[in-house]
Amino acid sequence: MEDILYLGDKYFYTPYIYPEWWPEDDWKRQLIGILIFNWVGQYVLYFVLGLLDYYFVFDHRLTKHPLYIKDQMKLEIKYSIKNMVFQTAAFAPIFLLEVRGYSRLHHELNRGFFGYLNPVVEILGFLAFTDFTNYWFHRFLHHRLIYKRFHKQHHMWKVPTPFSGYALHPVDGFLQGISWHMFPFLFPFNSRLFMCFFLFVLIWTVSIHDNLCVLPRILRPIVNGAAHHTDHHMYYNYNYGQFTTLWDRAFGSHRVPGTHRGKGPLDDVMALAAKSNCLTNNNGYQSGIAETQKED
């Protein structure tokens, strides 16, 4: 984040916006820069990624599913815009602490015991930590005392779309994102890798809500992708995981996705369409018989 603030000051804020007497390392100025970047960045990425996924990946036949809400995508976008305003504000002070050196973020690629392999170790540690902690934060949001107040809003979308990922309550969004910030306060992590993962999680969040399972068969039991997360929206108490199915399997909440068994939302839509066509053809056939009998 400090690299982004530096570039913003160098090419935009310092020469055009802020007065010369305001130091670039003033915490109030840094906080404003963090808020602006995160608000603008999240909105741009949300709409760009959502639209690309909607037009080129998402199967539009899913909008014919009986559980798909009228004007659902408009509602998802409305909730997402509202959520990102508050969620960005909630995370901004944590970003500020990281920028001002209170975390264990660093810039060296070969820092640590493993030398040039250290980035790989940090990435694996980050993925393992966030996968485990997000599983429990997510499962906590399904507790009966918490669910209705904070997480139920996200489960309005039983047949999710690429715009569903951020259509949730701000507290829900904060709890499911806080582990990403917990890690660099507990363990060393490269700051540039840290920002790359924030872009990655935006892409991941959009992709697991588009109902499309494009994983190789060998990875399907391991990766908690769109098929698993679709079943989470449909059946609530299964597949809480973020990246993998490991913790769902370990703690008894794993469910083999219906999509992998020919019983997913798209299969439901196709079955309904086939039934409708069958009834239409049958009615046409019966009408034809009736007309023939009249002629006779």
Total of domains in the chain: 2
Measuring CA to CA, which residue among 73, 89, 74 is closest to residue 209?
73
Verify that 251 and 275 share a domain, yes or no.
no
> pLDDT tens for residues 79-133?
999 999 998 899 999 999 999 999 999 888 776 667 778 889 999 999 999 999 9
Verify that 56 and 166 share a domain, yes or no.
yes
Verify that 291 and 190 share a domain, yes or no.
no
DSSP state of 113: T
Q: What's the confidence (pLDDT) of residue 287?
A: 52
Q: What's the confidence (pLDDT) of residue 112?
A: 65
Name beta bridge partners: 105.
189
Contacts of 252 (CB under 8 A, 6+ apart): none
Verify that 287 and 144 share a domain, yes or no.
no
Encoding tokens for residue 233? Answer: 């929206």
pTM attached to this predicted model: 0.85
Verify that 288 and 166 share a domain, yes or no.
no
Verify that 169 and 288 share a domain, yes or no.
no
Verify that 282 and 173 share a domain, yes or no.
no
Encode the chain (296 residues) as per-residue pLDDT tens digits. Answer: 777 887 778 778 887 788 888 888 888 988 999 999 888 888 999 999 999 999 999 989 999 999 999 999 999 999 999 999 998 899 999 999 999 999 999 888 776 667 778 889 999 999 999 999 999 999 999 999 999 999 999 999 999 999 999 999 999 999 988 999 999 999 999 998 998 988 898 899 999 998 877 778 888 889 999 999 999 998 989 999 999 999 999 999 999 988 888 888 888 888 887 877 765 555 554 454 445 445 54
Verify that 78 and 188 share a domain, yes or no.
yes
Q: Which class for 106: exposed (0-12), middle (13-18), buried (19 or more C-beta within 10 A)?
A: middle
Full domain range(s) for residue 256? 2-263
Query: What is the rounded CA–CA span in Å between residue 231 and residue 258?
Result: 7
- Kind of pairing between the strands at 189-190 and 105-106: parallel
Query: What is the rounded CA–CA span in Å between residue 177 and residue 92?
Result: 12
Verify that 70 and 12 share a domain, yes or no.
yes
Q: Compute how many other C-beta atoms are within 10 angstroms of the C-beta atom of residue 22.
A: 12
CB contact at 8 A, 91 and 173: no
Verify that 130 and 275 share a domain, yes or no.
no
Verify that 219 and 75 share a domain, yes or no.
yes
Verify that 210 and 287 share a domain, yes or no.
no
DSSP state of 10: I
